[in-house]
Structure 1
Amino acid sequence: MKAAPPGNGRPAYGSELEAQAWRWLHLLHSGDAREIDARRFRRWVCNSPAHQAAYNTAKRRWDAIEPPARELLRRKPGAVPRPLHRTDRALHGRRAFLGAAVGAAAAGAAAVYSPLGWWPTIDEWDADDRTAAGEQRTLALADGIDVTLNTRTSVRRHASGGRTVGLGLINGEAAVDLGAGRAFTVVAGTGRSRAESGSFEVRHLEGTVCVTCVAGTVRVEHPAGTRILYARQQVRHDAGSIGDISGVELATVTAWRDGMLVFDRTRLADVIVEINRYRAGRVMLMNDSARNRPVSGRFAIASLDLALWQLQESFGLRARALPAGVLILS
């Protein structure tokens, strides 16, 4: 038997309302919330000015929690009493959904893409290092050379004389930090990015490569031309062309290394695409009128459920959760 949602039953006052607000926040960001829970929450929060004030207070405190603390709340549900739990039926549905997907993959082993990112593409099968959704990993490749792989990233190591001197970035995003005199090359698509000191980042997604110089200089070689980047500069290239050099705000570009996603008037559709890189499953935006709405803000990678809830509330979207981490926003 499921526990009742917070706020059911006799009237509540003061600290009890705040406790209910915390339980609502935890439910709504747990991944277990359903449409009926959202409707009940709206009725609860509109019940009185005291309910709204209790929610606003809890929300401000929730937003102030550091990402590790939020992660603790999700990993240890007992930290805040939960109103309901995932049912055996829901878990069975998820297993059946995943089982069907894996079965389809086995039946069509020649597939070159990975629905929802559940298995690596053919290009990634021989990767030396690979990160999963939401995972970040630092590779200490040699004395003075550190490479940090972002979420869903696959690389091949390039060695010479028994040491790694470069990487092939198959897919994803990598940040390279070099000591003085430690040359390193990243090959992505049809381009090569080389530096001998400093720091740079390379992002390779859907056939487009973006190279950012964080410190020092980076030489980007492409069949269509060569670009020299200095700190706070960036260039993009694809299979047939290389763009002009542009200036960037490093705090935005490198925020992922601090566990954050930063957007500055970014299209909602593009924000959802970026969130999908870090989240298991897939968020699908089905509201065409909201696709081009601008989003500005900072979101913790460890708390993407919270980010999605904020977007849902900001744009008046309805959310429907499906098995296997699929979330439909309409």
Structure 2
Amino acid sequence: MTTHPQPLKLPETLREDARAWVRKLHSGAATQWEAQAFRRWRDASPAHQAAFIEARQQWRVLQPALNSLVRSDAEAASLHRETLRAPEASRRAFLGAAGAAAVAGVAGVAVYSPLGLWPAANEWNADWRTVAGEQRAIALSDQIGVTLNTRTSVRRLTSDGQTVGLELLNGEAAIEMLASARDFSVVAGAGRSIAESARFEISRLEGRVCVTCLAGRVRIEHPAGDRLLLARQQAVYRDHSISGIATVDPKVASAWRRGELVFKQVPLSAVLDEINRYRPGRVVLMVDSLREKTVTATFRLDRLDLALLQMQRSFGLNARSLPAGVLVLS
């Protein structure tokens, strides 16, 4: 009787790393050094090799569907065109990418991360990272605790060997400090948030940084101006601008920590963007006329498929599933 080896159980973090490598090897910007680093990563263990093979197969299956989406979806097509207008890579990078593509054993070059399914390159050197749907608590000291939300990457900031803050590379984090804790800073994009015995949340998504103070004081330092937040206050900034201070409902802002998503008159497109952060793959809305339709609802994070079904019925949408967790609503 022939026996077959059991497939390896791969950690989701290893799968994410494999997808990141596939993305890099297809990006057209991989250097020769990165190709060598990839070989070392791939050869580290049978699990690494299996994760890479799986990610490569997913890419091959997904590409035809994504090419079709670029032809039919204006948002995806716009992103594709913007990437094509990016500056040419240097000759060295081109040669490195060619070598990397040969290592990967794939043909063709993808010009962008398909629908955000792979981690961005700047997240590879994070000290902590969560995958879709994961939340993780970290004790930085006996006085400071951090909770990472889904798809979040952070890097430790140190001084004289001591952790003095974090850099939020992507995603969302909640920070809780005891009254006796020293000031703690979080760098995100162009700004720095300095907390004084505070509880606060900070998110960095697609170039937009949102800082919410739940208790204590948080000072935002930004090239466009500083802001001092007190409890129940929030400010938003991008690279070259910062908003005024707004009052927020902490129950809505912190709903994710209770396992919920709360929406009050939020456009459907924004609701789907938020849901996309918590589930593997991506939900794509193809009906432009529905993007600004508002949604008021509370969804459980462990029942997002039910939430999508409710919205399909409410807005009369049809759903089509594609590989790698892509769901097209039309």
TM-score past 0.5 threshold: yes
Kindly state the Cα deviation for residue 323 of structure 1 after the two structures are TM-superposed: 1.7
DSSP-derived class of the 2:306 partner: helix
| Corresponding residue of 1:65 | none
| 1-structure distance, mates of 2:133, 2:111 | 22
Report 1:163-202 matches (<5 A).
163-182=162-181, 183-202=183-202
| 2-structure distance, mates of 1:163, 1:112 | 40
Distance 1:277-1:113 versus aligned 2 partners, 3 A rule? farther
| Corresponding residue of 1:325 | 325
| 1-structure distance, mates of 2:149, 2:213 | 17
| Corresponding residue of 2:121 | 122
DSSP-derived class of the 2:256 partner: helix
Deviation by residue 1:16-35 (Cα, 9 ceiling, x = unmatched): xxxxxxxxxxxxxxxxxxxx
Range that drifts further, 94-103 or 125-134 = 94-103
Kindly state the Cα deviation for residue 296 of structure 1 after the two structures are TM-superposed: 0.5
| Corresponding residue of 2:146 | 147
| 2-structure distance, mates of 1:264, 1:145 | 32
| 2-structure distance, mates of 1:122, 1:141 | 25
RMSD: 2.6
Query: Residue 282 of structure 2 contacts residue 325 of structure 2 at CA under 8 Å; is this kept in 1?
Result: yes
Question: Which protein shows a greater Rg?
Answer: 1
Query: Residue 174 of structure 2 contacts residue 201 of structure 2 at CA under 8 Å; is this kept in 1?
Result: yes
| 2-structure distance, mates of 1:108, 1:232 | 52
Query: Residue 145 of structure 1 contacts residue 176 of structure 1 at CA under 8 Å; is this kept in 2?
Result: yes
| Corresponding residue of 1:301 | 301
Kindly state the Cα deviation for residue 241 of structure 1 after the two structures are TM-superposed: 1.2
Report 1:13-162 matches (<5 A).
96-100=57-61, 106=104, 114-162=113-161
DSSP-derived class of the 1:199 partner: strand
| Corresponding residue of 1:313 | 313
Kindly state the Cα deviation for residue 96 of structure 1 after the two structures are TM-superposed: 4.5
Kindly state the Cα deviation for residue 277 of structure 1 after the two structures are TM-superposed: 0.6
Distance 1:100-1:309 versus aligned 2 partners, 3 A rule? closer
| Corresponding residue of 1:264 | 264
DSSP-derived class of the 1:216 partner: strand
Kindly state the Cα deviation for residue 122 of structure 1 after the two structures are TM-superposed: 1.3
Distance 1:95-1:124 versus aligned 2 partners, 3 A rule? closer
Deviation by residue 1:286-325 (Cα, 9 ceiling, x = unmatched): 1122111110011011111010001111111111112211
Kindly state the Cα deviation for residue 242 of structure 1 after the two structures are TM-superposed: 1.1
| 1-structure distance, mates of 2:255, 2:145 | 17
| 1-structure distance, mates of 2:164, 2:62 | 38
Distance 1:111-1:222 versus aligned 2 partners, 3 A rule? farther
Range that drifts further, 177-186 or 264-273 = 177-186
TM-score normalized with structure 2 length: 0.67
Distance 1:133-1:176 versus aligned 2 partners, 3 A rule? same
Q: Which amino acid aligns with 2:257?
A: R
| Corresponding residue of 1:222 | 222
Query: Residue 213 of structure 2 contacts residue 230 of structure 2 at CA under 8 Å; is this kept in 1?
Result: yes
| 1-structure distance, mates of 2:115, 2:224 | 34
Kindly state the Cα deviation for residue 111 of structure 1 after the two structures are TM-superposed: 7.6
Distance 1:209-1:113 versus aligned 2 partners, 3 A rule? farther
Kindly state the Cα deviation for residue 94 of structure 1 after the two structures are TM-superposed: 10
Kindly state the Cα deviation for residue 144 of structure 1 after the two structures are TM-superposed: 1.1
Query: Residue 165 of structure 2 contacts residue 185 of structure 2 at CA under 8 Å; is this kept in 1?
Result: yes
Q: Which amino acid aligns with 1:155?
A: V
Paired residues in the alignment total 238
Deviation by residue 1:125-151 (Cα, 9 ceiling, x = unmatched): 111111101111011001110011111
| Corresponding residue of 2:204 | 204
Deviation by residue 1:247-290 (Cα, 9 ceiling, x = unmatched): 11111110001110000000000000110011101101011221
| Corresponding residue of 1:279 | 279
Deviation by residue 1:176-207 (Cα, 9 ceiling, x = unmatched): 00001322100000100011212001110111
Q: Which amino acid aligns with 1:131?
A: T
> Structure 1: 5+ residue runs without aligned partners?
1-92
Kindly state the Cα deviation for residue 121 of structure 1 after the two structures are TM-superposed: 1.4
Percentage of matched positions with identical amino acids? 58
DSSP-derived class of the 1:225 partner: coil
Q: Which amino acid aligns with 1:237?
A: Y
Distance 1:287-1:118 versus aligned 2 partners, 3 A rule? closer
Q: Which amino acid aligns with 1:323?
A: P
